[in-house]
Structure 1
Amino acid sequence: MNTVLRKRYKILGSLGSGAFGDTYLAEDLDLPSKPKCVVKHLRPKNVKPEVLMLARRLFESEAEALYRLSNLSKQIPKLFAHFEENGEFYLVQEFVDGHDLAAEIIPGNPWSEDKIVQLLQQILKVLVVVHQQNIIHRDIKPQNLMRCREDGKIVLIDFGAVKEIKGLAANSEGQVTSTIIIGSSGYMPDEQANSKPKLSSDIYAVGVIGIQALTGKLPKDFQEDRNNGEIIWRNEANVSNKLANVLTKMVRKRFSERYQTASEALQALNSVSPRLSKSTTSWKLPFRQKVLVTTGVGAGILAILVLAPLILLSTKTTENFTQLPCDAKLSSLELNLPKLPDKPDRKFKNNISYYGSSDENNNFSGKGILVFKNGDRYDGDFKNHKRDGCGRFSFIGGNVYEYYIGQYVDDRPNGLGKLRWKNGDEYRGNFKDYECEGEGVFKPANGSSKSGIWHKGNLLGDNISISCNQK
């Protein structure tokens, strides 16, 4: 935190750490508005001179490719800087404000065919630019596809070549090779797993994403034909023969039988549904068309805007509520809250009580109950003094919500969950920092429902807004 690289890029916090390096959120101190950017830090495991020499060459080559690609497509983050310090390598790239597709493609919640065609078209359009430069991404998966918050477009991130730097090693004869395979299990075809990726290896990954969204199943759960190793999936999806044939060719076992480039795959996909060759979804919501009703304010809760039930009387959907990861663990809490023990394990001056275990540092840890001054309470998992894991928050002191039940990360509702209003309305789906964010279904008490992708309570592509901010 607060480290300043090159007297310019100030580190604000971590965005993630993995086997290939660390990623940080930073701000550019040289520019007036101090815009946010992403800093990727790569450290070779081996510091032998011959390893560093090859790492430097790989790094320069990758930076050159990223710079070239980002100038050709707005759907690839711009490269602002690349530099080396003390044998460690840094990339500074454009910050993409949005969420990755893992927040939208949810197990057990299959997508419609039209929606999948639109998604695959967006992915393939940016991949066309990549393949025209004879570059293979090598790690296409939902986590590396960002949905831009501003316009809803897909942005392709995290190109795989720089990851080789982390896995470089020298043998006894001084030969330097990469000890790792770039790619992710389930999205990586055989030739790529054998360190011989092709342009069509990227096509395989895109096809897997399409089948994943269509079936509502994770790639690890796909069945394979014992005779030829092909993915078995058509009997598990409601899909036209045209789209099924395109997806089948995209994920052929033999790379020679797939579409060889993104251009070929996109051309085939456009023929499936010509009316969708251009996106028909309006991601920016015209504010004046939103219909909102103001409701009361609960103790300690911000002003709430709730969707008028009449808005959804005519809506139709074939989507069902999904089974959430925390449902099984918390099903009993949905009906009845356990009786509080006679005496709390911790009592604070602000009249907050904690019932449960603590770790060696006296931080809340494991299962516990937190009761607030106004009667609101949280029942669930704790880690490092924060709500983290599965839990239920009961709005006992308020008059708007009844409860949130689902996943918590870093003391906030993050991940899959369900929010229930006291009037019987429900939202089930993805949350991010208290808000409905990502794939989800809103079901008013009148029995209708509306599904899609939500951003801060707004249904993208529709003039519908709900308030699910639980602060």
Structure 2
Amino acid sequence: MKIVIGTILRNRYKILQFLGGGAFGETYLAEDLDLPNQPKFVVKHLKPKTSESDVLQVAQRLFESEAKVLYKLGNLSQQIPKLFAHFQENGEFYLVQEFIDGYDLSAEIIPGKKLSESELIQLLQEILEVLAVVHQQNIIHRDIKPQNLMRRQEDSKIILIDFGAVKEIKGLLADTEGQVISTVIIGSNGYMPNEQANSKPKLASDIYAVGIIAIQALTGKLPQEFSEDPQSGEIIWQNEAKVSKKLASVLTKMVNCQFNLRYQSATEALEAVKSLSSFTIKLQKLVIPVCLSVVVLSGLIFAFMNFLKRPATVVKQPAKSESNLQLVCPETSFLSQPLASKPDLKIGNSEYYGLSREKGTGKGSVVFPDKKTGTQARYDGEMKNYKRNGCGIYTVNGDSYRGQFQDDKFHGQGINTFKSGDRYIGQFENGFFQGKGEFICKNGNKYIGEFRNNKLHGKVTFISQNGSNEKIEIWEDGKLKEGGKIFDCNAGK
């Protein structure tokens, strides 16, 4: 049963808002009434399945041990939330932790979107640096996934949250012989290796999870969509992403089915990833001077030949153009928290989570059937009168839209990323591309200009995938005026 908003715990912590939860407990935003300005904290509520005395004794012991671990880790690193208090009331357990203002990595690692190799190496270093602090204390996190890695708004650093061991308290039961046992396998499907699923986690189990996140970011696929070798059980992914052999080798080692063949700690994995970064820098230092020499020599030859056959009239090429749109909604608008086991409110086929019941206004999540695709859609963000209004993220069938909404429709500025890999950045009106925008095709072709009702209309700059062909075109209702070519991503090949 959820804590009632307004409840004051320990005569000090006033519950302000339900943040999320599930089978293992609930998380709330609270304020500390004893301190000046009533600073905000996160309160985690844990309750064993049974109130039997033997179970409560084991839960108490686990709770105290876990609180010591969290307190120690929070003081070792500024990228792990600090523990400020832990207490027990009426057989239920509470942790009071630092509130992190930011968003989790599911807002960055989006289905259909692929990170570049350099972007991924940077992300891996950020994750492994904080995980190394945990592993150096011989502690296993056990639930590494995008939702438990937050990007702090203040400094954009990765914050590691939600340590799995606390969840054991929720799963404690007494068996038929009176022995207290844990019924919980801690971890998340897709990110959990075999040994962890068999209740024998290692430090290398966390490395497997980080490797899965990396492959997810490179391929744009969810872990459940990965292919596996039917004989070895190893993940098949290299055909889905273009990366160097060195990076592919590091990731393959991270997600090896056999834990003893993986990197054995985050420190070891971090060294391997850092070597990738230094290798890239060395390669750049070697390649750039050589390339410059070739370019200079080629340029001199080309200039001389061009001088010999120079025409009387020189045609000036149009300068490259960009949409230069600054999105109104900050990245922190795109929060995507794990949903509770039950919705807070259900209206028709729509299920609402974390939303204020006062006229359905505020920040929250809603899950509902999408009429066009016939699949389940999800929205996380600002709402008014139970409709999508403000900044948020909408995902359905592999497509995603991040930006401004008005009365359940894309309206304003945003980014539409398609399952196909195509992407539109620009202005929307009543759900349509409308106004200035940039359409970037999966093949690299780019159209920059005016859109009307999802179609190119007016003066448009076309830039081919390798930048070799750039020209100004005039379009009308999705058709090129000269030649009648219809707007599609294969045009200009």
Q: Is the 8 A contact 1:124 1:265 kept in 2?
A: yes
> SS of the residue aligned with 2:30?
strand
Q: Is the 8 A contact 1:190 1:253 kept in 2?
A: yes
Q: Which residue is equivalent to 1:261?
A: 265
Q: Which residue is equivalent to 1:183?
A: 187
State the distance in 1 between where 2:54 and 2:82 align. 30
Backbone CA RMSD of aligned residues: 3.2
Q: Is the 8 A contact 2:32 2:38 kept in 1?
A: yes
Q: Which residue is equivalent to 1:119?
A: 123
Q: Which residue is equivalent to 2:236?
A: 232
Q: Which residue is equivalent to 1:428?
A: 415
> SS of the residue aligned with 1:40?
strand
- Change in Cα spacing, 1:156 to 1:311, as seen in structure 2 (3 Å) is farther
Letter in 1 for 2:265: T
Q: Which residue is equivalent to 1:43?
A: 47
Q: Which residue is equivalent to 2:393?
A: 415
> SS of the residue aligned with 1:207?
helix
Letter in 2 for 1:256: N
Aligned partner of 2:25 among 15, 18, 21: 21
Q: What are the residue-to-residue correspondences of 1:62-211 with 2, within 5 Å?
A: 62-211=66-215
Matched, 1:313 2:322: yes
Q: Is the 8 A contact 1:10 1:26 kept in 2?
A: yes
Instruction: Give 1:66 shift.
Output: 0.3
Give a deviation string over 1:146-175, Cα, whole Å, max 9, x none.
Answer: 000111000000000010001111112221
Matched, 1:442 2:425: yes
Number of aligned residues: 335
Give a deviation string over 1:61-86, Cα, whole Å, max 9, x none.
Answer: 10000000000000000000000111
- Change in Cα spacing, 1:79 to 1:312, as seen in structure 2 (3 Å) is farther
Q: Is the 8 A contact 1:39 1:92 kept in 2?
A: yes
State the distance in 2 between where 1:267 and 1:219 align. 25
Instruction: Give 1:428 shift.
Output: 1.6
Give a deviation string over 1:103-144, Cα, whole Å, max 9, x none.
Answer: 111001111111111111111001111001110000000000
- What stretches of structure 1 of length at least 5 have no aligned partner? 278-309, 316-360, 368-382, 393-404, 431-439, 451-471
State the distance in 1 between where 2:59 and 2:280 align. 43
Q: Is the 8 A contact 1:20 1:42 kept in 2?
A: yes
> SS of the residue aligned with 1:273?
helix
Instruction: Give 1:443 shift.
Output: 4.0
Letter in 2 for 1:242: K
TM-score (normalizing by structure 1): 0.65
State the distance in 2 between where 1:105 and 1:236 align. 16
State the distance in 2 between where 1:406 and 1:47 align. 37
Letter in 1 for 2:393: G
Q: Is the 8 A contact 1:45 1:168 kept in 2?
A: yes
Letter in 2 for 1:107: P
State the distance in 1 between where 2:358 and 2:32 align. 32
> SS of the residue aligned with 1:272?
helix
Q: Which residue is equivalent to 1:60?
A: 64
> SS of the residue aligned with 1:136?
coil
- What stretches of structure 2 of length at least 5 have no aligned partner? 282-318, 325-344, 351-356, 371-376, 395-400, 406-410, 418-422, 428-435, 442-493
Give a deviation string over 1:84-107, Cα, whole Å, max 9, x none.
Answer: 111110000000000000111100
State the distance in 1 between where 2:380 and 2:201 align. 38
| Rg larger for | 2
Q: Is the 8 A contact 2:349 2:369 kept in 1?
A: no
State the distance in 1 between where 2:80 and 2:222 align. 26
- Change in Cα spacing, 1:446 to 1:178, as seen in structure 2 (3 Å) is closer
Q: Is the 8 A contact 2:393 2:403 kept in 1?
A: no
> SS of the residue aligned with 1:205?
helix
Letter in 1 for 2:246: K
Aligned partner of 1:6 among 10, 26, 35: 10
State the distance in 2 between where 1:195 and 1:364 align. 40
- Change in Cα spacing, 1:408 to 1:231, as seen in structure 2 (3 Å) is closer
Q: Is the 8 A contact 1:365 1:385 kept in 2?
A: no
Give a deviation string over 1:436-466, Cα, whole Å, max 9, x none.
Answer: xxxx96347364779xxxxxxxxxxxxxxxx
- Change in Cα spacing, 1:446 to 1:45, as seen in structure 2 (3 Å) is closer
Q: Is the 8 A contact 1:170 1:176 kept in 2?
A: yes
Q: Is the 8 A contact 2:45 2:92 kept in 1?
A: yes
Letter in 2 for 1:236: E
Q: Percent identity?
A: 60
Instruction: Give 1:176 shift.
Output: 1.1
State the distance in 2 between where 1:312 and 1:127 align. 42
Letter in 1 for 2:96: V
State the distance in 2 between where 1:45 and 1:69 align. 28
Instruction: Give 1:427 shift.
Output: 2.1
State the distance in 2 between where 1:406 and 1:219 align. 19
Instruction: Give 1:415 shift.
Output: 2.2
Instruction: Give 1:274 shift.
Output: 2.0
State the distance in 1 between where 2:82 and 2:194 align. 31
- Change in Cα spacing, 1:428 to 1:314, as seen in structure 2 (3 Å) is closer
Q: Is the 8 A contact 1:118 1:276 kept in 2?
A: no
Q: Is the 8 A contact 2:106 2:147 kept in 1?
A: yes
State the distance in 2 between where 1:43 and 1:276 align. 50
Letter in 2 for 1:313: E
Q: Is the 8 A contact 1:406 1:418 kept in 2?
A: no
- Change in Cα spacing, 1:216 to 1:119, as seen in structure 2 (3 Å) is same
Q: Is the 8 A contact 1:201 1:255 kept in 2?
A: yes
